[in-house]
Each structure stands twice: as structure tokens, then as C-alpha cells.
Amino acid sequence: MKTLRFKIENENYLSHLIRKYFLNNSEVLELNLKPDKNFTLQTETAIRASILSKQRLLSLGDRQKIEKETDALKEYQATVQNVEVLPKLTIKDIQVEVPRTGYSIESIKKTPVMFVEGQFNGLRTLRLFIDISDISEGLLPYVNILEHFFGELGTKSLRYDDFNEALCQVADGISVSTEKYPHPTQSDQFMHFLSVKISCLDRNIDKALSLLTSLLVEPDLKDTARLSQLIQMTASDLSHSLVENAVSYAMHASAIGFDYLGSRANEYSDTQFKLNLAKTCLKSSDLKIVLEDLAFHMDFLLKKLFQKGKLKICVHTDNKKGMGKEIKKMLTALEQEYTPEVFERSLSPRLFVIPSNTIYVIETFKTPILTEKDSPTVQVLSQLLTWIFLYPLIRGEGGAYGAGCSVSREGRSSFYSYRDPNSLSTFSHFETGIQGVARGHFAQEDLDAAKLALFSKLDSTTKDRDKLVQFFLTGFSD
């Protein structure tokens, strides 16, 4: 590998191979495929001839039998079948008691650390949760950049490819994401976290945490070539998926103004920031200045993230032996006042233009958050609205690809339509759904069906390594 890398960097190795095997290579095999204009006609003629030959072999009795069986099949297909014979799931079948997961919480260097007990087959998963609720507006876009780039960087002692190779030998990689949970004391607020996760086998925990620590403490932000490469790769992926994710962008944009971070950052604006950054890199006469500015903001952000009181650690393992020592080493390496801004709600209609001929319609309402007593009612209401009113009206009659009501634990209920050819009438259907529920235009069986639909969502399997995370961060159980 060292020899190959040296040749690539110093001897125009790849350029030489391209000239030798492609540009100057006289031994070429050329294969041309030309369509047969008569292929379809010939195929249809052959099929028709085959059918006619089989018909000639049939007797009058054979033909009458086939016609009789065909009529019987049509009659059977047109018959409304009795679905009551099928087994049914009722509300009484829902299990009331939920199995409890064991855990313990310790304090290591004044940092809360939760160990979740379970059968993990020798696999340990460690998560760092860094509170970003008071990150300044200027740094917010760089949180999203950090989320996408951090696991792809190298360190000051290892190039990104060497670092990745070393990491793959002991762990399944490093993933970074942003998450939010209800605030434990302020019912209308949420706690926002940057989550850094790494999983490895018991025997590799010391090496895995050592690599994670080196990336947290000394990321190589001066490798401008790597930063430029990551920007272009991310922009390319985002530009290709922009239309596919339009309904998600619209839902985020519709909810802007309901909470502090949501008012200033959303999925669409984050995407635009990364695309504009890529455009700046392409057009800049001095790319180095742009990349150094990006590196400066990311470095400043990392220093902000590891202030005292901002970090919590969650470990899922069936054997925590040695974990305390390794976590203490990591926290020692991470040891390095911020005034939160005042947030004011701002609600307004918004239009986002995307490169697509289709329209996505979202209307968002402020509703009770997950921990409030009316939240279960709102959850059932969303299913009732979706399947009794919105889906039949907007999808069935209006021709949209999909429609419904989505409820988030942050207290946002969004009516939505997906690829909607009749967007203006959709707003009327939203109002029709609200009025229909308010006037009780639904039956008891509709309500039971809505509850079952909700239970099927709530009863989805939780990965063992994700259990108790919300409880640890906020005090609320799963």
C-alpha cells in the first residue's frame, strides 16, 4: 500500500495507466447492438399463431369447459368475501405490562454515565450525548456539517484513510446524529443533543475508545483536500435526493417557529447551507480561505461542545468490567461561559421552491407534547384523521400519492399531502377533517381501528442498544 500510494502521489501513476490501457491501446473490441424494428411484430405474430394452433386441437367439449370455468372464476372474483372468518387483533390483545430493562447510573469525573444491562452477545455500544440547546445561531449550520463530516475525518497523527482502516479493525465505525427529547421541567421546551456513537466487541473497547478520543481531541481539520472532497460528495448526494426528501423538508419548514433550534435550523436550510458551501468552493478564487474558515468554525464548535455539564454518556453492555477506567481516560483527554439566546415564536406561511413539477403541502399545529396528559388523545386523533378523512379525500379523490396526519413528540401535528396535483383543495380537506372529528362524524369501529393503528406503531421493536436512552437524558421512560 505504501508503494502504491507513493507512485500515485509522485509518479503520475494513474495518468500513466490511463494513457497505456485506454488512450494509446490499439487492441480494442467494439460491440454494437442494433435494435430489430420488426421484433415486436414478429413476437406477437408467433404468440398469435401458437394460440390458434392450440385452439384447433380443442374439441367442442373442451371449449365449453374452459368457458364455464372462466365464468365461474369471474363470478368468484366479483363476490364480496366474508372477512369475519379471518383472525382479528383487538384492543384486549394488547399487552398491558412492558418488560423492564435493568440499568445503573454512575458519576465519572462528574459526568453522568448510565450502564444498561442486557444480553448483547459481547457487543458494547457507547454514546456521547452533548447538549447543544444553547449553541449560537452562527454555529448551528456547522453542527449539521459536523454531523455529516466528523466520522470521515482523520486525526493529527493518522490520515483519514489510515484512521478509517484502524477503526474498521476494532469497531463498526463512528456515527454522529442530532437528537431531541422533551425537557424534564419546561413542558414547552426540548433538549437538543449531538450524539456520537461507537460499537465494538468487549476485547476491543480500549482500542476503540482510544481512536474515538483521538478524533474528538485532535481531528485533522487542516486537511483541506479532505474537507473539499467531503463537501463535494455531500453536495452531490443531497442534490440527487432533494426532490425525494421534499415532503420531509416541507414538514420541517412548516414547524419552524415552535422551538428555539427549530426556528433557526431545519432540514431544508441545512441542505441549502451545504449546497451553497459546495457552490462557494467551486466558484472561489481562493479555495484555501473558504476551507480554513470552515475548519475554524468546526474547531471552535468542538471546543464549545465539551464544556462542563454538557456531556452525558450511555453504555449498553453485558459486561461493564473495565469500562469505567476507559471512560475516565477519555474524559480526562476531553477536559478543556456561554449565555443562551432568547427565543421568540414566529409563525407564518412559507413557500419553498424545489426542482420538481410536483407539490408537497404541509400545515402544522402546536399540540400537546409527548409528556402532557392530552398527548395520547392527540396520537389517536392523528390516526383517525389520517384513515377516515385525509387519506380518502386527498389520496382517494384528489389523486395525491399520499396524505395523512403526523404527530411528533415535540408537540407538532402536521397535516401533509405527498406529490399533490390539487394542492389548493387540499387545505380545504384539512379543514374538513378537523370539522369531521369535531362533529363526531365517525363510528366506534373507526375509533378502535385508529387505536390499533397507533398501538402497532408504539409496539415496534426497540433495539437493545437504544433502550433507556430517553430516560437517561430526560427522566421520562420509553
Residue 116 in contact with residue 138, Cβ under 8 Å?
A: no
Output phi, psi for 78, to 5 deg.
-85, -10
User: CA 325, CA 330: separation in Å to the nearest integer?
Assistant: 9
User: CA 472, CA 277: separation in Å to the nearest integer?
Assistant: 36
Distances (CA, A) of 222 to 19, 138, 254, 288, 389: 33, 21, 38, 10, 55
Q: Residue 421: its pLDDT value, please?
A: 86
Q: Residue 343: its pLDDT value, please?
A: 40
Cell 441542505, located at residue: 271
Of 9-18, 101-110, 406-415, give the range with the top mean pLDDT.
Answer: 101-110
User: CA 301, CA 134: separation in Å to the nearest integer?
Assistant: 12
Residue among 235, 218, 217 at smallest CA distance from 227: 235
Mean pLDDT taken over the chain = 80
Lowest mean pLDDT: which of 173-177, 285-289, 437-441? Answer: 285-289
Q: Residue 353: its pLDDT value, please?
A: 65
Q: Residue 422: its pLDDT value, please?
A: 86
User: Terminal CA-to-CA distance of the chain, rounded, Å?
Assistant: 48
**DSSP assignment of 168-232:** HTTEEEEEEEEEEEE-SS-TT-EEEEEEEEEEEEGGGHHHHHHHHHHHHHSB-TT-HHHHHHHHH
Q: Within 58-120, where are the H helices?
A: 60-78
> What integer is the mean pLDDT of 317-332?
87
pLDDT digit string, tens, across residues 67-87: 999 999 998 888 888 878 888
Residue 236 or residue 71, greater confidence: 71
